[in-house]
Structure 1
Amino acid sequence: MVEPLESQGEGDMRRLAAFGTAASAGFLVAALLGACGAPAGPGPASPSMPTVPPLTSAPASSGAADTPPTEPPSAPGTPAPTAADWQSLKTPDGKLEFDHPAEWTVRDRGAEAAPGGVFLEVLNAGGKSLATLKTNVAPGAECTQRIPYQVLDLVQVPALAQQGVTPHFIFELRLYPAEKDPTKANVMAYGISSAPKPSGPDACPIFQFFTWPPSGASFGGVYNPFDTTPGNEPFVDTPEAYLETSEYQDIRKMITSLRPAGQ
């Protein structure tokens, strides 16, 4: 659950609340269902992923409202430059590897991993948690509600294709209009998902997992516009602005670089 930070001004709260209102007014676009249709029994919750209701399959729908929204672009229109120095890291079990900026730290949290799995956390130079990678997790849960959504970025990750299904990296939003606190009304996360995209005007809550032997895995994190970690770029208080930052471009490049070791 994203928690509000007391040091953020009321102006930021109003801007994010205004963003949530605009999202509900009609520019919500296509999103991925978070593991809809997967068997029940979610894996342990990651501290860097949003605490939102779990899901499995979406209820059937029909009529004109089922017309799929427009797809988002595969990348922001004016991306910021990515880090100059990168290095590769192989997971402790030797099965996966990914690239990350040399100044970032990868913490092994194997003591908290699922049996037979790995648990890595990536932090920037200021100590801000950017993403976690977990394997051998069960990707199933129940879709208890359907809510407005928006997809901000979407790109395939072909290196992780399994059984004919190519997962996606997705940066997405869920809007909870009844919530008065913007940090709870707008839940935003990025990560890899093997789930299909919804075809209607709403979606299940965010639940990003992808198929990886022997069951599933996750690699992603949350966007918190109220974060005040030292080193954050100024005036980034909406997800659209965050798309154009160097931090987001580096996160996207890192997560989409995930691949089987040796490839």
Structure 2
Amino acid sequence: MRYRNTTLAAATLLVLSMSSCAGPPGNGGSSERASWSSYTTTDGALVFEYPADWTVQELPPAANDPAGGVSVQVNDAGGDAVARLDTGIIADLVCADPDEDVAYTEYDTEPMPELDSEQGTEQRFVYRSVAPSSPTRGDPIATYAVITEIGDRGECGLFDYFTFTKSSGGRFAGAYPAEEATEGQSYLDGAAAYENTAEFRDIKRMLVSLRDTR
């Protein structure tokens, strides 16, 4: 199975464990799909919508917060993992400026006022790329994620985390996979074109629908 995941320097993933129920589509998307389902984390703290023909798979919690957390993986209709949600993740939201030769591009963003944080931060959806992905790797990477707004855009590269409770936060994210690029198309050209696909619109709608139920 192709696994879309981002290798980032900051922390382990956290995924949300959920229970399913039918519900109306979430906001923040332009997908033409008629049928969406709703999932609530097993701790009842978060809920999000996703296409009815996709699946949510519970995973062992990746939490490093003593208070615990949940983890889930969202798979598309073909069984490919398109996003992962983890909660109970303690990640230091402090980052260094990228090297001067790092190219940061932001393709799409949307505020998420319904996702509250006990730390008083503002969250948003973002789809962006950085090249190279790290000082030791030359390959670029593009990720879509729910993040906490910290500093100037691009300042923290691809720090794909958001704050949630007073002690920790989470990560609801995935990456544009290199195999999606068409023949003769570079990874970054493919990442830029991906924004205009139905799959991206579904993924964005799903991530933007994440909200607090506390």
The TM-score normalised by the length of structure 1 is 0.61
Match of 1:172 among 128, 133, 140: 128
Structure 1 letter corresponding to 2:122: T
- Given the superposition, is the C-alpha separation of residues 178 and 190 from structure 1 closer, same or farther in structure 2, using an over 3 Å criterion? closer
1:243 CA displacement: 0.7
Write the distance in 1 (CA, Å) between the matches of 2:31 and 2:206.
14
- Given the superposition, is the C-alpha separation of residues 254 and 178 from structure 1 closer, same or farther in structure 2, using an over 3 Å criterion? closer
Residue 126 of structure 1 corresponds to which residue in structure 2?
Answer: 78
Confirm whether residue 196 of structure 1 aligns to residue 150 of structure 2.
yes
Write the distance in 1 (CA, Å) between the matches of 2:212 and 2:69.
15
Residue 68 of structure 1 corresponds to which residue in structure 2?
Answer: none
Write the distance in 2 (CA, Å) between the matches of 1:98 and 1:227.
25
Higher RCO (C-alpha 8 Å, min separation 6): 1
Confirm whether residue 113 of structure 1 aligns to residue 28 of structure 2.
no
The structure that has the greater radius of gyration is 1
Between Structure 1 and Structure 2, how many residues are aligned?
185
Write the distance in 2 (CA, Å) between the matches of 1:53 and 1:117.
21
Write the distance in 1 (CA, Å) between the matches of 2:134 and 2:106.
21
Confirm whether residue 159 of structure 1 aligns to residue 109 of structure 2.
no
- Given the superposition, is the C-alpha separation of residues 53 and 118 from structure 1 closer, same or farther in structure 2, using an over 3 Å criterion? closer
Partner SS, residue 185 of structure 1: coil
Residue 101 of structure 1 corresponds to which residue in structure 2?
Answer: 51
- Given the superposition, is the C-alpha separation of residues 149 and 256 from structure 1 closer, same or farther in structure 2, using an over 3 Å criterion? same
Structure 1 letter corresponding to 2:123: P
Partner SS, residue 158 of structure 1: coil
Q: Which runs of 5+ in 1 are unaligned?
A: 6-46, 56-74
- Given the superposition, is the C-alpha separation of residues 80 and 54 from structure 1 closer, same or farther in structure 2, using an over 3 Å criterion? same
Match of 1:135 among 82, 87, 104: 87
1:197 CA displacement: 4.4
Q: Deviations over 1:109-142 (max 9, x none)?
A: 0x24326210010000111111111101012176
- Given the superposition, is the C-alpha separation of residues 54 and 93 from structure 1 closer, same or farther in structure 2, using an over 3 Å criterion? closer
Residue 69 of structure 1 corresponds to which residue in structure 2?
Answer: none
Residue 215 of structure 1 corresponds to which residue in structure 2?
Answer: 168
- Please say if residues 53 and 205 of structure 1, whose CA atoms lie closer than 8 Å, have aligned partners that are also in contact: no
- Please say if residues 169 and 255 of structure 1, whose CA atoms lie closer than 8 Å, have aligned partners that are also in contact: yes
Partner SS, residue 171 of structure 1: strand
- Given the superposition, is the C-alpha separation of residues 167 and 80 from structure 1 closer, same or farther in structure 2, using an over 3 Å criterion? closer
Structure 1 runs (4+) deviating above 3 angstroms are: 52-55, 79-82, 141-145, 202-205
Q: Which has the higher helix share?
A: 1
- Please say if residues 4 and 83 of structure 2, whose CA atoms lie closer than 8 Å, have aligned partners that are also in contact: yes
Structure 2 letter corresponding to 1:165: T
Q: Which has the higher strand share?
A: 2
Structure 2 letter corresponding to 1:153: D
- Please say if residues 180 and 190 of structure 2, whose CA atoms lie closer than 8 Å, have aligned partners that are also in contact: no
Write the distance in 1 (CA, Å) between the matches of 2:177 and 2:49.
23
Structure 2 letter corresponding to 1:103: D
Write the distance in 2 (CA, Å) between the matches of 1:227 and 1:98.
25
- Please say if residues 150 and 174 of structure 1, whose CA atoms lie closer than 8 Å, have aligned partners that are also in contact: yes
Confirm whether residue 248 of structure 1 aligns to residue 204 of structure 2.
no
Structure 2 letter corresponding to 1:223: Y
Write the distance in 1 (CA, Å) between the matches of 2:204 and 2:90.
24
Write the distance in 2 (CA, Å) between the matches of 1:112 and 1:185.
29
1:148 CA displacement: 2.0
The TM-score normalised by the length of structure 2 is 0.74
- Please say if residues 121 and 149 of structure 2, whose CA atoms lie closer than 8 Å, have aligned partners that are also in contact: no
- Please say if residues 99 and 254 of structure 1, whose CA atoms lie closer than 8 Å, have aligned partners that are also in contact: yes
